[in-house]
């Protein structure tokens, strides 16, 4: 029997989070950006295992969108876009967050985040009524854009900053876009923006894609790419970054059908998360009280991070707002002729938008497990869904001699084109298992003296630590079956 610390009362979820962050650094998942220069706030680099995990997450999303849906095609639009795009989309005028400064510590915070943290504290202490009342008051302020109201809530609930100070400025709006110049002469240069979301690259290419891929409405365009936001506060590690990646899909539909498609994508996206084997009770839907200027319905998929339930993905019914805005500002028609009803119209759009980095953090938080084993020893294991694991198979010769390393490498040569493998011959086998557990490798293959005789190996499964003897000829099929993306994607 394995006794998981995470399930016991001995380690509080909030105490786990700093451990996850240091584990990421120690095991080559994530490093602070420009670390030798003391880092750059809210910017991170992905190390050898991190880049593999992130690529696997992106690939799993990409396959779920573009492989299983014939009517979803891909796009890779540029980060720089014509400045008018951001005027048309509304970002220049209204892509802002309410911020507040602490006069003593000189630290800047998002006012709504401070209040959300207080709500989470109330919930944790079982003060449900207080939490609900504050949530309602926050929602009302956000809907009405009531900055004075936010300040009043901060004062009323005696919210302090991380140094304990209650000495706050007024709440102000702060635009999140990073501006820069394009052109060689500074005075004549146009100000352009680093895109704050990938969606606009899809909207402005709507007709290019529809015509060249010969898609009929309803159809979708999927894109993975970097986005940049001058987020006010550097907090919560990868949860809120200044440079991050989004995986977005805009689904173009006939006007009037958008609510059906909204319900469809809401469920499909939740199924995608659950297909990875993550427990359903770690997720919940959260309907938006304050709808963005472009939306007629919006919901977040939230996951229970160690610091509480937080958004990992948004599903928005964006109406025809974006296409109409771009028509108006560009003077170009962005319409579709629907042969079924013999009509021209501007399609409505249902968007699914998830952060690759936030999903990465979710996977790690969900995977990080400290276990006490029957013999009293402890093990730290990353129970990453095997399909996402950075290294799938470790090849471990029991000894560094007697032809075992050669045999292990021979097997690895058969597997390396199918899965990411790692060869390790250093230290006792138990320590090597622990090392693989700590990076989340789902399968370890041990090659011993018997292997040379019976052509069989021991396969060890990460989560259960179960060991099985299987013929070398069956390794590939066994692991392929375990990792079958087909089985998982069919659950969506």
Query: Distance between CA atoms of 396 and 378, rounded to whole angstroms?
Result: 21
Query: Distance between CA atoms of 248 and 256, rounded to whole angstroms?
Result: 22
Nearer Cβ to ligand ATP (57/323): 57
Residue 311 touching ligand ATP (CB under 6 A): yes
Residue 351 touching ligand ATP (CB under 6 A): no
Nearer Cβ to ligand ATP (57/253): 57
- Number of Cβ atoms within 10 Å of the Cβ of 360: 25
Smallest separation, CB 113 to ligand ATP (Å): 9
Residue 223 touching ligand ATP (CB under 6 A): no
Number of chain residues interacting with ligand ATP (CB under 6 A): 16
Residue 322 touching ligand ATP (CB under 6 A): no
Please say whether the beta carbons of 442 and 462 come within 8 A: yes
Please say whether the beta carbons of 100 and 171 come within 8 A: yes
Residue 353 touching ligand ATP (CB under 6 A): yes
Selected from 240, 266, 273, 318, the binder of ligand ATP by CB under 6 A is: 240
Which one of the spans 25-33, 127-135, 328-336, 354-362 is the region binding ligand ATP (CB under 6 A)? 354-362
Task: Pick out residues in 356-385 that bind ligand ATP (CB under 6 A).
Answer: 357-358
Smallest separation, CB 117 to ligand ATP (Å): 13
Which one of the spans 167-175, 206-214, 353-361, 413-421 is the region binding ligand ATP (CB under 6 A)? 353-361
Residue 241 touching ligand ATP (CB under 6 A): yes
Three-state secondary-structure class, residue 345:
strand
Residue 355 touching ligand ATP (CB under 6 A): yes
Please say whether the beta carbons of 367 and 380 come within 8 A: no
Cis before 176? omega within 30? no
Please say whether the beta carbons of 362 and 309 come within 8 A: no
Smallest separation, CB 490 to ligand ATP (Å): 25
Residue 161 touching ligand ATP (CB under 6 A): no
Selected from 50, 314, 347, 397, the binder of ligand ATP by CB under 6 A is: 314
Taking alpha carbons only, the member of 237, 227, 239, 169 closest to residue 202 is: 227
Query: Distance between CA atoms of 253 and 251, rounded to whole angstroms?
Result: 6
Smallest separation, CB 230 to ligand ATP (Å): 9
CB-based burial label for 349 (10 Å; 0-12, 13-18, 19+)? buried
Query: Distance between CA atoms of 103 and 165, rounded to whole angstroms?
Result: 8
- In the complex, which residue's CB is closest to ligand ATP? 355
Nearer Cβ to ligand ATP (215/246): 246
Residue 246 touching ligand ATP (CB under 6 A): yes
Beta-carbon contacts of 1 under 8 Å, excluding residues fewer than 6 positions away, are: 374
Three-state secondary-structure class, residue 374:
coil
Name beta bridge partners: 32.
44
Which strand (E) or helix (H) includes residue 408? Answer: helix 404-415
Residue 392 touching ligand ATP (CB under 6 A): no
Residue with tokens 């998929």: 301
- C-alpha dihedral sign at 101, 106, 110, 112: negative
Task: Pick out residues in 168-197 that bind ligand ATP (CB under 6 A).
Answer: 197
Residue 231 touching ligand ATP (CB under 6 A): yes
Residue 317 touching ligand ATP (CB under 6 A): no
Nearer Cβ to ligand ATP (101/245): 245
- The contact set with ligand ATP (CB under 6 A) reads 197, 229, 231, 240-241, 244, 246, 311-314, 353-355, 357-358
């Amino acid at each position: 029997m394995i006794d998981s610390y995470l399930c016991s009362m001995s380690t509080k979820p909030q105490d786990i989070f700093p451990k996850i962050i240091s584990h990421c650094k120690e095991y080559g998942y994530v490093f602070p950006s420009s670390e030798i220069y003391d880092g750059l706030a809210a910017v991170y680099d992905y190390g050898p295992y991190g880049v593999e995990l992130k690529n696997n997450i992106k690939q799993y999303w990409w396959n779920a969108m573009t492989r299983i849906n014939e009517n979803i095609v891909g796009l890779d639009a540029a980060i720089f876009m014509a400045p008018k795009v951001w005027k048309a989309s509304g970002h220049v005028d209204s892509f802002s967050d309410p911020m507040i400064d602490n006069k003593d510590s000189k630290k800047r915070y998002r006012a709504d985040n401070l209040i959300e943290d207080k709500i989470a504290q109330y919930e944790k202490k079982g003060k449900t009524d207080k939490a609900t009342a504050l949530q309602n008051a926050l929602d009302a302020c956000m809907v009405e854009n009531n900055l004075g109201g936010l300040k009043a809530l901060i004062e009323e609930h005696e919210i302090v900053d991380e140094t304990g100070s209650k000495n706050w400025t007024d709440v102000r709006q702060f635009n999140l876009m990073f501006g820069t110049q394009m052109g060689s002469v500074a005075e004549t240069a146009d100000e352009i923006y680093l895109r704050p979301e990938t969606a606009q690259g899809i909207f402005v290419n709507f007709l290019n894609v529809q015509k060249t891929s010969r898609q009929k409405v309803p159809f979708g365009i999927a894109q993975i790419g970097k986005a940049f936001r001058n987020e006010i506060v550097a907090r919560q590690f990868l949860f809120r970054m200044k440079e991050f990646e989004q995986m977005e899909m805009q689904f173009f539909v006939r006007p009037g059908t958008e609510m059906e498609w909204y319900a469809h994508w809401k469920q499909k996206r939740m199924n995608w998360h659950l297909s990875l084997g993550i427990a359903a009770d770690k997720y919940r839907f959260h309907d938006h009280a304050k709808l963005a200027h472009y939306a007629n319905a919006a919901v977040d998929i939230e996951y229970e991070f160690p610091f509480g339930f937080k958004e990992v993905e948004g599903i928005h019914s964006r109406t025809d707002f974006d296409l109409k805005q771009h028509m108006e500002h560009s003077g170009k028609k962005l319409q579709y002729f629907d042969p079924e009803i013999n009509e021209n119209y501007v399609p409505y759009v249902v968007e699914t938008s998830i952060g690759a980095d936030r999903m990465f953090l979710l996977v790690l938080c969900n995977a990080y497990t400290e276990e006490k084993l029957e013999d009293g020893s402890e093990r730290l294991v990353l129970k990453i869904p095997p399909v996402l694991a950075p290294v799938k198979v470790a090849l471990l010769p029991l000894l560094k001699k007697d032809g075992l390393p050669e045999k292990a490498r021979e097997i690895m040569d058969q597997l390396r084109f199918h899965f990411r493998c790692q060869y390790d011959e250093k230290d006792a086998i138990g320590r090597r298992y622990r090392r693989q557990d700590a990076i989340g490798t789902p399968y370890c293959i041990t090659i011993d003296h018997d292997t040379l005789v019976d052509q069989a190996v021991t396969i060890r499964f990460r989560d259960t630590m179960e060991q099985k003897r299987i013929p070398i000829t069956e390794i590939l099929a066994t692991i392929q079956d375990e990792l079958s993306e087909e089985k998982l994607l069919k659950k969506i």
